[in-house]
Structure 1
């Protein structure tokens, strides 16, 4: 989690350090080190190389307005790796999870803020309690919270990427996509009875593309969210929690707020993303109050002439002073903004096929839905969205809000280009999608999902889905509602409704699901071929574990591991074998593992190759292996007690049983800071070995 540069009472600060890569797992079908720094008060920034006079340790934490921890300190079992940044409610660190090989974003509440202020602590608790119930691909997950050593902490999903406040010169299609994803997150929260109340660029995290998954925007920091029925109780005139530049008129004037307040803040945020300017001119709190309550917003097409004039009225409506004059939902606003942008005939050719991944969230049954043209024409506000017809490209847009154009079933079989095994990796979660040949009604899709739940428990889910429709275009495949075939634990898996598989121009397949959003899969043969001739056998045996090689010679595999081909050199054990090394240079606490290919079962025993024949062995079972794996360690290593360090490495060599085609491979594993037993149960047991 990161915080952006917009300042409220000088409390928002950001550390520009590069983040370690980590994303969390999902639990549905297709689900889905701090350097010493100084807060330079006159700049409101953190600069490396500024060394404070604070004394570190517990005594040092109590000085100043910020709660400061240094690398290696342990809070509630989490090992601090580095500082990410600070915001209005606390300091955020990247920390190693006490049991799992992953990074966690650990927020520590500011000590001075909580002393003598029970409301602050209640707000901090509420952030976790509210967000912990959310299950949405565009909301940062909250794992746990508590008190340790008089410090209040909350652990959250670690996102590798930037916050939106760091984005500049954003292309309109990217900005609109980010806005659409955050709109979906807000409508989801509103459906749960929760207002965010602090929507702004620095509370939007933009996750880097990874393992075939495109860039994704996530909403974070529900630290000042309230349940709607708490609004009057906690709102006080003149005590504005949200950043003034993005606060709604009702917030700055102390009036009751509702979902359309978040829509107003989203409109301010999207305006900034599309123009690098704010929709109002002000430079102090009183100025912002006047601007939000009295002034008209700037015209977005004048601020950024590359945007069509049709967008002006969309933003004017979303930024209306009266909440009743705004759009019915955040998704309605994002839809109208996107439609208005692509109404420009010069842009129509680049428009998405259906304009948005999903129609906006449907309203409850007792509320009628107006067509889009009626929503746009509202209280003397006319949005001049024109129908753009580009005959040569066959592109046309209609100004109505209904279901997407229907597709026609051919009644045929699954196109051959969909048939096969498709792989994807997301953080600690692996997906193995198999598409078989069949006709409408046949169970053609099976999906295996393995990962880790937020509480650290591993999960395994298998699903099946029938073929529902084969559209004429041949680039899509519609499958019906998924059925759960196997799940462990019982509450880990959620089945999807009907989904569409889309064949992409680069040969991959994407699947948009209602459980975990968009997952993009790579054909298993493509994963294998990307490694080249010498390493093909390793890639074919462990495609999900090591991932697909990219143009830089590095692959991202299971649990975000970074792998590359590096055969053993002179003086190394197993010289002459081919080797893929993963996380060899990683310092964030990930498992380090090598996979060695000897072409045939090694002539020398593992004991000879790696341990000078002084070994202990044990057998372990694995779901992907018929029979037992053999784990070999040095005789001096106590699997239950010896922790791996640079000075005393607790290395385990894993071999496959006779008769297994993978008996030609040896896996060499170590997990810094952990025992061999932890390695076997927390990592190897879940690692995908097929």
Structure 2
């Protein structure tokens, strides 16, 4: 069916083409009865005739139509005309972030990129709370309306996330269709998407972090001329350091992106709000969210036990893995992976890429060097001897409890107390401002909200180390996410202890507390105190 100006589809009269993609075209179309223009996405005949896709399209378009949020492009209607599926959406008079980025070869300002990312994150969190994933978060889907001021001020531009018509329910958690079609853009795809694993809201958070990286640097997080190289980056390379491209940014931004782009979805932020809030604090205050992870069960990645080969199916198969050296070797990318054999076919950029795991009879030892773990000291004296960096360093400990990370209860441990005595036995100097007044109980409750005019004890802790002992509802990830600003705005280095056993041992001192803290707290101090 030839579609052009004047063509009527589902009652909508086509005005002009707005854009085109791999699945169809988007047109500006006049509404059948209302005095407005909508964006009409018409899917190609091949896609429309795919029985599996038709069912997915109808089910998920219905779910997306129920979303009502100022940062999400609204889905109005859907249907079929002359064998082609169509979906009517809100028309945004403006551009998209990918097109806007072409005007900034070195990247947007961090402030504008943060604002765009934050607005998109609000829309995503809204969808996630209603059981929908987007699964194709990328700058090309970030719609930017024209500024409302006389000069089209950027601060007044509106940000909306488009293409929720292709969203999916969180109950449908596999990314590959039965026919093998891949539904994301690999430049921003999370590792679990590329490997065909189950998805959840952390997948969209990963893609949002990749999008922020692109907006600020004008580069993809894992650049590569071949899809296999890009996929390899997402699957196996560490998160890129944005400061390597933008050295003007605080290094804390690297830490935030490292969490948001963690290979393991469970190690990422739990919401877009957490991610963008941490990003804002990193950009504006240089505050890092990364500390030693003490959450039970947060084990280090297992060493590689197999190899993975990304194969271009347009090339002839290799005769064997031990080919004659005289025979030209086909280019291969060997990557470390798990030992479970799996084959996944992805339709990317019009070509198929096969991902195959091979478990060889013998696997070479990894070439990376690891540091031998230090056995837990058997006594405080031994811990002090092993860690001369502790000597003379100032430290204080503060409890963080409560039902909400934004309004927690905060209390500072005072001296004299068993807690202060323990730190001093390790070689630290407990902060002189944290001293009991008369028969005052410890810990002393404090205000959780930062007040520059407050001359309280925490305002005196602007050097040394401050240990946040967390059991609030946002604890458990070994990070400073949602810590109250009265703690995070300190100039002292903030450390986090949130292992439940260690937290209880420090707060409720018993004869067994010392040994528990030697095993669980001293490693945190050893890694962080310099």
The one of 190, 195, 198 equivalent to 1:253 is 195
Partner of 2:237: 295
How far is 1:197 from its partner?
0.7
Matched, 1:269 2:373: no
Q: Of Structure 1 and Structure 2, which has the larger fraction of its residues in strand? A: 1
Matched, 1:369 2:473: yes
Partner of 2:148: 210
Query: 1:203–1:219: 8 Å Cα contact kept in structure 2?
Result: yes
Partner of 1:186: 124
Per the normalisation by structure 2, the TM-score is 0.53
Partner of 2:47: 113
How far is 1:122 from its partner?
2.1
The one of 81, 88, 94 equivalent to 1:148 is 81
What secondary structure is seen at the aligned counterpart in 2 of 1:147?
Answer: strand
CA-atom RMSD, angstroms?
3.3
Matched, 1:281 2:215: no
Partner of 2:274: 332
1:316-369 alpha-carbon deviations (Å, 9 max, x no partner): 111110011111111101110111000149xxxxxxxxxxxxx9999xxxx963
How far is 1:257 from its partner?
0.8
Q: Of Structure 1 and Structure 2, which has the larger fraction of its residues in helix? A: 2
Counterparts in 2 of 1:233-244, with a 5 A limit? 235=177, 239-244=181-186
Matched, 1:82 2:24: no
Call closer, same or farther: CA 1:361–1:155 in 2, change over 3 Å: farther
Counterparts in 2 of 1:567-582, with a 5 A limit? none
Query: 2:114–2:276: 8 Å Cα contact kept in structure 1?
Result: yes
What secondary structure is seen at the aligned counterpart in 2 of 1:218?
Answer: strand
Distance of 2:156 and 2:26 partners within structure 1: 25
Per the normalisation by structure 1, the TM-score is 0.41
1:350-391 alpha-carbon deviations (Å, 9 max, x no partner): xxxxxxxxx9999xxxx963269953489xxxxxx97488xx
Query: 1:237–1:252: 8 Å Cα contact kept in structure 2?
Result: no
How far is 1:150 from its partner?
2.7
Distance of 2:175 and 2:285 partners within structure 1: 44
The one of 234, 246, 250 equivalent to 1:308 is 250
Call closer, same or farther: CA 1:78–1:236 in 2, change over 3 Å: closer
How far is 1:88 from its partner?
2.8
Call closer, same or farther: CA 1:335–1:307 in 2, change over 3 Å: same
How far is 1:298 from its partner?
1.9
Matched, 1:195 2:133: yes
What secondary structure is seen at the aligned counterpart in 2 of 1:85?
Answer: strand
Distance of 2:19 and 2:259 partners within structure 1: 35
How far is 1:211 from its partner?
6.5
What secondary structure is seen at the aligned counterpart in 2 of 1:69?
Answer: coil
Counterparts in 2 of 1:531-680, with a 5 A limit? none
**Stretches of structure 1 lacking an aligned partner (at least 5 in a row):** 1-60, 62-67, 346-358, 379-384, 390-397, 401-690
The one of 111, 129, 140 equivalent to 1:173 is 111
Query: 2:65–2:165: 8 Å Cα contact kept in structure 1?
Result: no
4+ runs deviating over 3 angstroms: 232-239, 359-362, 371-374, 385-389
How far is 1:173 from its partner?
0.9
Distance of 1:326 and 1:309 partners within structure 2: 18
What secondary structure is seen at the aligned counterpart in 1 of 2:199?
Answer: coil
Query: 1:373–1:399: 8 Å Cα contact kept in structure 2?
Result: no
The one of 129, 151, 157 equivalent to 2:90 is 157
Call closer, same or farther: CA 1:83–1:102 in 2, change over 3 Å: same
Counterparts in 2 of 1:82-101, with a 5 A limit? 82-101=16-35
What secondary structure is seen at the aligned counterpart in 2 of 1:375?
Answer: coil
Partner of 2:6: 72
